[in-house]
Copies of this chain bind each other. A is one copy, B any other.
Amino acid sequence: MSAERRRRRPRQTVVEKPSGPVQPPWRLHERRFEPTPVVSEDELEAIHAASLVVLRDTGMEFLHPTAQRMWAEVGAKVDGDRVRFDPEMITELVATAPGEFVLHAPDPARHLPMGGRSVAFSSVASPPNVADRAGGRRTGNREDFRRLVMLGEVLNSIAFQGGYPVEPVDVHASVRHLVATRDLLTLTGKALHAYSLGAQRNRDCLEMVRIVRGVSNDDLEAEPSIFTVVNCNSPLRLDTPMLEGILQYSARNQAVAVTPFTLAGAMAPVTVAGAVVQQNAEALAGIAFCQLVRPGSPVIYGGFTSNVDMQSGAPAFGTPEYMQAVLLGGQLARRYGVPYRSSNVCAANAVDAQAAYESVFSLWAVVTGGAHMVMHGAGWMEGGLQACYEKMVIDADMIGMVGEFLQPLATDADSLAVEAIDEVGPGGHFFGTAHTLARFRDAFFKPMVSDWRNYETWAEAGSPTALDHAERLVGELLDAYQPPSLADDVRAELDDFTDRRIAEGGVDTDF
């Protein structure tokens, strides 16, 4: 820990605040079982080899002169924007990436291990639209952005903020990163994403995070404190802002999640294996470039392969093909020894059974597939075009259930309960036994949303659905929201910087 780090003010108890719905505690999740493979080792090697053939023969476009120059210097074949790679160059560069690292959060209690057996779920990121039941669907705006950040802060199952939970379109693009990042840093203490939107914005965000973490520039580099998702412009292209993101964030030893978006049948081959060959080629090239920029800098292998409806071309999510691709991506990430990023996705337009089953199928895949960073963990709808308050609560509740499922199953002698079974004997019941009474209050996970009342009681209560409960819970959770504590001088420094940069006009745009 840095000597110059400023102490965060301990959180004060605000007596007037409602405590909010009962939630599972904040906790870090660990898979206690081996990830599930979807192909054999030989098949995995065939996919790996095919990706290297793609990088050798077809190559990737790197739309950045610095990147092209750097690749040429290490012997890649650069032909205009197109770069082709010797397989060994790729594998040697990828091998320098760390297998695990810690993503540091503004609140030290929210630091996240990335890699190993850990798995962490984020709030939704980047939809252009937002919806709640009362207000309907609307274009993203700062007020909803702030409220969704607050909901993500108060929900214990959400481990980090995946980005802007909805795009605050009413803030001009020239200063949006400043306004939104200050909102994030003052509304949440959880680990943060920063968008790769060009050199100046990247520098601004790094400085703002440095201020709030209260560390020096050197400490910031020693302690990755921000991650950025670098999406490939699939197929086989990394564009200028994304490469600028790698050039800056990797250079500063921040985490880069290289994530091709390979929709099978659209921007990638129509076969799952083919789409993942392409995903893997793109991810490897991106990760290799991160390591070329700074060997040993933290990277995350991102997989985002799903399929489209071949009749309509509409993207589909949480499908069997998505599940297979998630498992396959996990096998590849483990082969390369880097942390793995996946997502909790659905294509549903309504918070209905489809939204739930597509999301739980996603959670099934990401957990058994060995994902470490699960983006869009809570609140994603419409294939990413809508952030939804009620869905965020339901997803967070489902993540809580997954977290409980991942808890160790106690098998000590007391838990085996042989004496209690003998005490009750045939035909009895366990409601009043000492063994039960000693444990019943906290014996089982208590979901927020699930309604377990019998039909008659439930019908008398007005037959509330999960959506009804989620709508109520959104309000109760937001009422219980408390901002993270920021020392006055930290807040002042953040405001000084942000206000100055806003006054300067932020970043030039052509609109």
Contacts and interface: CB of A to CB of B under 8 A. Distances in A.
Interface of A: 32-33, 36-39, 43, 46-47, 50, 53-54, 57-61, 81-82, 129, 137, 233, 235-237, 264-275, 277-278, 281, 307-310, 312-316, 319-321, 323-324, 328, 347-361, 364, 368, 382, 385-386, 394, 398, 401-402, 404-405, 407, 409-411, 414-418, 420-422, 424-431, 435-436, 439-441, 443-447, 449-455, 458-459, 463, 465-467, 470
16 contacts: A54-B422, A57-B422, A61-B427, A235-B425, A235-B430, A271-B410, A272-B410, A273-B416, A308-B444, A320-B445, A328-B409, A349-B451, A349-B455, A351-B353, A358-B450, A361-B405
Contacts of A267: 429-430
A153 B281 CA distance: 45
Given A271-B417, A357-B359, 19 more contacts: A39-B411, A50-B416, A81-B426, A235-B427, A236-B421, A265-B436, A265-B440, A270-B443, A273-B415, A349-B459, A350-B465, A351-B353, A352-B356, A352-B466, A354-B466, A356-B360, A360-B361, A382-B454, A382-B455
Nearest to A411: B43
A443 B265 contact: yes
Contacts of A454: 314, 382, 385
A272 B348 CA distance: 34
Given A352-B353, A444-B319, A411 B46 contact: yes
A236 B270 contact: no
Contacts of A356: 352-357, 360
Contact of A443 (B271, B313, B347, B401): B271
A453 to B, nearest CB: 6
B354 A418 contact: no
A405 B61 CA distance: 33
A221 B402 CA distance: 44
B273 A421 contact: no
B320 A425 contact: no
A356 B428 CA distance: 34
Given A350-B465, A364-B364, A443-B264, A415 B274 contact: yes
Contact of A450 (B312, B347, B451): B347
Nearest to A416: B50
A444 B310 contact: yes
B415 A271 contact: yes
A351 B356 CA distance: 11
Interface centre among A319, A402, A435 (most CB of B within 10 A): A319
B385 A455 contact: yes
Nearest to A58: B422
A446 B321 CA distance: 11
A416 B48 CA distance: 10
Contacts of A354: 356, 449-451, 465-466
Given A316-B450, A356-B356, A265 B431 contact: yes
Nearest to A350: B465
B452 A347 contact: yes
A416 B277 contact: yes
Contacts of A441: 310
A324 B405 contact: yes
Contact of A277 (B39, B272, B401, B418): B418
A84 B101 CA distance: 55
Nearest to A354: B466
Contacts of A38: 32-33, 409
A82 B427 CA distance: 11
Given A270-B436, A320-B445, A416-B273, A314 B453 contact: yes
B417 A269 contact: yes
Given A445-B321, A452-B316, A427 B43 contact: no
A420 B274 contact: yes
B435 A269 contact: yes
A461 to B, nearest CB: 10
A268 B416 CA distance: 11
Contacts of A357: 356-357, 359-360, 394, 398, 401
Contacts of A33: 36-38
B310 A440 contact: yes
A58 B425 contact: yes
Contacts of A60: 426
